[in-house]
Structure 1
Amino acid sequence: MTCELCEREVEPLTVHHLIPKQKKGHHGSKINICSACHKQIHTLYDNTRLAQELNSLEKLKNEPQMHKFLCWVSKQDLNKRVKVHRRRS
């Protein structure tokens, strides 16, 4: 299956709620993305920003930090696990 963000053929895919569940997005739009993209989204952005500003596939793809990550991850070996560094609390 293809990740809707990085467009790599990766399995398994995870479901990302474009409006986070904590922001009443239980029944809203969802996209299927790889775990690397999913981790990166939640590392870079809090749920408020995701709900208010980055609530579509195109907005996520075009956000500068995410776009930079997508360019990088699209070149990575599909057989190797991509590490995403979590934000420090």
Structure 2
Amino acid sequence: MQCELCERKMADLTVHHLVPRQNTKRKKQDPGPTVDICSACHRQIHALFDNKQLAKEFNTLDKLKQQPQMQKFLAWVRKQDPDKRISVHRPT
């Protein structure tokens, strides 16, 4: 399996809702599209952005890939061992 964000080959992937479920659940809307990503990318997304930002600004794979902080993280994480647990850091 390959992470749709960092493109590393991984044993396990997580499902990321491009529009956070919190924004669709209350309104009983379709939860919308998802992507299969590694846990490091998933944790980094949620460390950088709140659900409102994700719903409005970063609701596609391309928008996430183009965001400067994510680009920096992706360039770094692609070099990491897929079997190693990656620590994510919130911006200061």
TM-score by length of 2: 0.88
| Distance in 1 between residues matched to 2:23 and 2:91, nearest whole Å | 21
Given that 1:18 and 1:29 are in contact with CA atoms closer than 8 Å, whether structure 2 keeps it comes out as: yes
Task: Determine the structure 2 residue equivalent to 1:22.
Answer: 22
| Distance in 1 between residues matched to 2:91 and 2:73, nearest whole Å | 15
Given that 1:20 and 1:26 are in contact with CA atoms closer than 8 Å, whether structure 2 keeps it comes out as: no
Runs (4+) off by over 3 Å? none
Computed over aligned residues only, the root mean square deviation of the Cα atoms, in angstroms, reads 1.7
Percent of paired sites with the same residue: 59
Question: Cα distance, 1:73 vs. partner?
Answer: 0.1
| Distance in 2 between residues matched to 1:42 and 1:80, nearest whole Å | 19
Question: Cα distance, 1:78 vs. partner?
Answer: 2.0
Task: Determine the structure 1 residue equivalent to 2:7.
Answer: 7
Q: Which runs of 5+ in 2 are unaligned?
A: none
Task: Determine the structure 1 residue equivalent to 2:56.
Answer: 52
Q: Which amino acid aligns with 2:17?
A: H
Q: Which amino acid aligns with 1:50?
A: L
Secondary structure, aligned partner of 1:55: coil
Task: Determine the structure 1 residue equivalent to 2:40.
Answer: 36
Which whole-Å deviations, capped at 9, do the CAs of 1:22-66 have from their partners, x for residues lacking one? Answer: 111752000000000000000000000000000000000000000
Which whole-Å deviations, capped at 9, do the CAs of 1:58-86 have from their partners, x for residues lacking one? Answer: 00000000011000000112232211135
Q: Which runs of 5+ in 1 are unaligned?
A: none
TM-score by length of 1: 0.91
Computing the radius of gyration from Cα coordinates, the structure with the larger value is 2
